[in-house]
Amino acid sequence: LGIDYYNYRFRNQQALTSTDGDDLATRQFDESYDKYKLATQYAFAPVELRYETNPEDPGSSFKLSAGGKFGYLIRSHTKLKRDNGNKAKDFGNFNVNPVRLDAVARIGYGRFLNFYATYGLTSVFENQVQPDLTPVSIGVNIFGFNWD
């Protein structure tokens, strides 16, 4: 079990606003800003099938894993950082999907170098709210992927 944090950055002076309906409302900023993002936090449970070529010696073993993660939304908010350094947070729904399902694959060798890929099977926003965003992430784990 774990907690995932996701940050989605926005450009073009657009900001999300909280709504109770099925639409994703945006507004235009009148002033410039340094950063604007939507942050989400999900509690998740992974389910994976794992294969290891040499379980007796994990340091020289090739490892492969495939499976999924089921997540449930804990919290979402937007964060604005203005050019003058002032920050503001807005906690709300933003029509963020309360359930997240991801496909996960990992590959590695030994104890130190591992690669992973995650593909979102659910959209970031619920109720066919546009834009239809499907998160994808790839990366490298160092000192990870040990299950011994």
Q: What is the mean pLDDT of the chain?
A: 83
Query: What's the pLDDT score for residue 1?
Result: 86
pLDDT: which is higher, 119 or 133 = 119
Residue 99 to residue 74: CA distance in whole angstroms: 10
pLDDT: which is higher, 126 or 100 = 100
71: confidence class by pLDDT, cuts 50, 70, 90: very high
Residue 136 to residue 78: CA distance in whole angstroms: 20
What is the CB neighbour count within 10 angstroms for residue 96? 24
Residue 121 confidence (pLDDT) above 60: yes
Q: What is the pLDDT averaged over residues 58-70?
A: 91
Q: What is the pLDDT averaged over residues 99-124?
A: 91
